[in-house]
Amino acid sequence: MAKLDFSAINKSAANSFNEQRNLIKKIGRGETVLCATCQRPLKLSVSVTSEVGVSCEKGCTGISLELED
| Contact residues for Zn ion, defined by CB under 5 A | 35, 37-38, 56, 58, 60-61
Closest distance of CB 5 from Zn ion, Å? 36
Residue 64: CB partners within 8 Å, gap ≥ 6? 51, 52, 53, 54
- State how far Cα 33 lies from the chain centre: 11
Least Å distance between CB 3 and Zn ion? 41
Nearer to Zn ion, 34 or 67 (CB): 34
Beta carbon of residue 69, minimum distance to Zn ion (angstroms, whole number): 29
